[in-house]
Amino acid sequence: MTQSVKADLLIVGMGAAASMAALYALDANPDLNILIVTKALKGKGGCSRMVQGGFNVVLHPMDSHEKHFMDTLKGGQYINKQDLAYTLVTEATATIKEMETRFGCFFDRNPDGTIHQKPFAGQSYDRTVHKGDLTGIEIMSRLTEQVIKRGIPVLEETRAVDLLLDESGKTVTGALLFDMRRGDFLVAEAGATLVATGGGPTQYRFHAPGPEKSVDGLGMLYRAGAVMMDMEMVQFHPTGLIIPGSVVAGALLEEGLRGAGAYLFNGNGERYMLNYAPDVAERATRDVVSRSSYIEMTSGRATPEGGVYIQASHLGPEFVLKNFPGMAERCRQFGYDLARGRVPISPTAHFVMGGAAVDLNGQSSLEKLFVAGEDAGGVHGANRLGGNGICESCVLGRQVGKALSKHLHNGNRALATTRKDQVKETADRLLRPFTRDSGPSPFDLRKRIKEMNWNKVGVVRDGPHLTEALAEIDAIADEASRMRVSGGRNYNMMYTAAVDLLSMIDVSRMVATSALAREETRGAHSRSDFPKQRDDYGLFNSNLRRGSDGKPVIEKTPVAFTRKSLEECQNYRKG
pLDDT tens figures, 383-420: 999 899 999 999 999 999 999 999 998 788 999 999 99
> Sorting pLDDT into bands at 50, 70 and 90, what band is 209?
confident
The domains located in the chain, with CATH, are 3-233+351-409 (3.50.50.60), 239-347 (3.90.700.10), 422-539 (1.20.58.100)
Active site residues: 237, 258
pLDDT tens figures, 336-367: 999 999 999 999 999 999 999 999 999 999 99
pLDDT tens figures, 44-86: 888 898 888 899 999 999 999 999 999 999 999 999 999 999 9
Angle value at C-alpha 571, between 567 and 572, nearest 5 degrees:
115
Helix (H) or strand (E) segment spanning residue 184: strand 184-195
pLDDT tens figures, 529-569: 999 999 999 999 999 999 999 999 999 999 999 999 999 99
Taking residue 432's Cβ as centre, other Cβ atoms within 10 Å add up to 16
Mean pLDDT of 501-507: 97
Total residues found in the chain within this entry: 575
Helix residue spans in 76-152 (DSSP H): 82-101, 135-149
Cα–Cα distance measured from residue 444 to residue 440, given in angstroms and rounded to the nearest whole number: 7
Mean pLDDT of 174-200: 96
Closest to 510 measured CA to CA, from 365, 347, 349, 356: 356
**Could you tell me which residues are beta bridge partners of residue 3?**
186
Angle value at C-alpha 44, between 184 and 378, nearest 5 degrees:
90
Q: Is the pLDDT of residue 289 over 80?
A: yes
Spatial contact of 483 and 439, defined as CB atoms under 8 Å apart: yes
- Exposure pattern of 126-138 as b/e (b: 16+ CB <10 Å)? ebbbbbbbbbbbb
Helices (H) and strands (E) in the chain, counts: 16, 18
Q: Is the pLDDT of residue 200 over 70?
A: yes
Mean pLDDT of 455-476: 97
Closest to 172 measured CA to CA, from 373, 371, 379: 371
Share of the chain above pLDDT 90, in %: 86
Spatial contact of 414 and 173, defined as CB atoms under 8 Å apart: no
How much is the pLDDT for 575? 44
Within a 13 Å sphere around the CA of 494, how many CA atoms are in the beta-carbon half?
14
Cα–Cα distance measured from residue 328 to residue 336, given in angstroms and rounded to the nearest whole number: 8
Spatial contact of 39 and 49, defined as CB atoms under 8 Å apart: no
Three-state SS sequence of 1-70: CCEEEEEEEEEECCCHHHHHHHHHHHHHCCCCCEEEECCCCCCCCCCHHHCCCCEECCCCCCCCHHHHHH
C-alpha pair distances (Å), 209 with each of 17, 213, 575: 16, 6, 36
Angle between helices 493-517 and 442-456 (to 10 degrees): 20
Mean pLDDT of 477-501: 97
pTM summary value: 0.94
